[in-house]
Structure 1
């Protein structure tokens, strides 16, 4: 087993850990540990809400979750010798759960929301039990599938200039509709900021400046790409000295799009990583955001039931809008599954958690984009085809 660089203390909030990580992005959050290029190591991670969600049948914890504490990340990890302009090569060697269960949540429209929050405004939850590579849920009976485990969030620290650009453009977006629920973006928030070992005035200033971890950005971050499983290699642009790599938000499984917002099967877990550095790689290869080479490990599902979505909603055409089209594909799938004994909420949770495949069919045939959503039929214990 590789050496463990970061231990997760699952019984208490990250702010109280002996070696705390962080839940904001800022170049001045100090590295907690360091490695040299060529080293392999293990990192333990708390689930993304900092342990606020329990193995219960009540979704009150999802409804009341304090998102100012998210995402909790393990790191930063200094990669010795990495410099701005380099590429950090990260290999995902292995990963797994620290507990025997995880969860999927539909977040309340007024506290996080989700892809279909206008249709599903209330909080719901499904708890999943792990059996090796397989999982099932007492809250969505009749379903069992193999997980495709991966980190939902992994990335390097931004430079001061990049951080300033993030904050400026996201604040400009918020200003276009400042009262929107859920909001268009999340600005820096000092409350509940965890910033590693920073103390005093420096800690207070960084808390006011640091970016939230919710979206993906040029450095990687919360990309939620389900195929970044074992064997994946990632090429990250390096924006600060020593790269300052962090990881968290581990998923046992996820459908493309993670559509309920907390749509994956969230888990506390461990991940084994290997690192290397390509000097001057950003300029040499023209890379300004991560490049991914997914690994060969994934469940072997051969038959899918695939639902079409086009960019038409409530009788209105949207010009080549793939987001509207994917909403329609998801709604079509949910409506269909309600004819096989599932509630609409159960179907929505399932689309976020199971290894569902989302694909863009076309974005050139005006006026409609076409998107598909494919569900593996073998995950059900009953026939789900029309007869």
Structure 2
């Protein structure tokens, strides 16, 4: 585990993306920060809560993010490189059906709340009653930079600079690349999950407070259309250093988001493996995986395209 050089406590949070927010910390590229993250309800849901909490739920406080962090030297056109070093889960989380939110809101209009109490080291699966066992798989659902557009922007939909992407591949060891649109980048992290399925179809995962330690670096003058990442390959192939490249598409049209994710992978394969675009396109079709990472954070959906680097060994 990488030792943290700085810690930002959870009371340093905000509920909208806004490039006029004063940073709570300034770091140089190469430094490491631990973000203390509260749950997605900003503490409105507690271990003692029942589903009645959603009868007086303040949606303006949903999805707080800790930050922002100003990165010295970051300028529009650069790429911020965030390596997720480790997670320290809290041992408690919740999942809910919140009326009016989720993919099947008309089918399930009633509120429901499920509490999870788990071992933070993941030594015991999370129990869904006596029906199922869920492996602990912590990740941050929301990680992003301030957009160039002035004013306050909702945390809920993701965008080109990241945000509430809910890509469950943002696990410890993953490296996220985010396009910088404002000076200093203004990085914030929140919405930590103990586990989530692709799509997050009911609108919530296992929402769980935890700490996230990340190292921050910078690539100068490196245009990037959408966030991309690479993660450790699971299960590990023969080469333990093999990883998975993941490109993303974010927007209100699911088909166009899928196109964007695939185009991002074609560009990456051309640059990293020297493939002609048409060859890369055909390789994507036979060896890549297109996934819906989330389809509930209206008006923008997140599609991700995965390519295991082990196929090149």
TM-score, structure 1 normalization: 0.58
Which of residues 69, 93, 116 is equivalent to 2:61? 69
For residue 124 of structure 1, what is the aligned residue in structure 2?
112
Q: In 2, distance between residues paired with 1:114 and 1:3?
A: 38
The DSSP-based 3-state class of the residue aligned with 1:254 is coil
1:249 to 191, 196, 216: 191
> Is contact 2:8-2:33 (8 Å) kept?
no
Q: Distance in 2 between matches of 1:358 and 1:130?
A: 31
**Is 1:62–1:125's contact at 8 Å kept on the other side of the alignment?**
no
Give the structure 2 partner of residue 266 of structure 1.
207
Matches within 5 A, 1:73-222: 73-97=65-89, 99-109=90-100, 113-131=101-119, 132-133=121-122, 134-137=124-127, 140-160=129-149, 209-222=151-164
- 2:233 and 2:6 map into 1 onto residues whose CA distance is 25
Q: Is the 8 A contact 2:65 2:190 kept in 1?
A: yes
| Secondary structure of the structure 2 residue equivalent to 1:31 | coil
User: 1:64, CA displacement in angstroms?
Assistant: 2.9
Q: C-alpha displacement at 1:229, in angstroms?
A: 0.5
Unaligned runs of 5+ in 2: 237-253, 256-288, 293-313
Deviates more, 1:128-137 or 1:116-125: 128-137
Q: How far has the Cα of 1:272 moved from its partner?
A: 0.7
CA RMSD across the alignment: 2.3
For residues 200 and 235 of structure 2, the distance between their equivalents in structure 1, rounded to whole angstroms, comes to: 17
Equivalent residue number for residue 281 of structure 1: 222
TM-fit CA distance, 1:275: 1.1
Mapped contact 1:96–1:252 kept (Cα < 8 A): no
Q: 1:135 Cα shift?
A: 4.0
The match for 2:7 is: 5
- Structure 1 portions without partners, runs of 5+: 9-16, 164-208, 300-320, 323-356, 361-387
Structure 2 match to 1:331: none
Shift of 1:57: 6.4
TM-score by length of 2: 0.71
How many residue pairs are counted as aligned between the two chains? Answer: 239
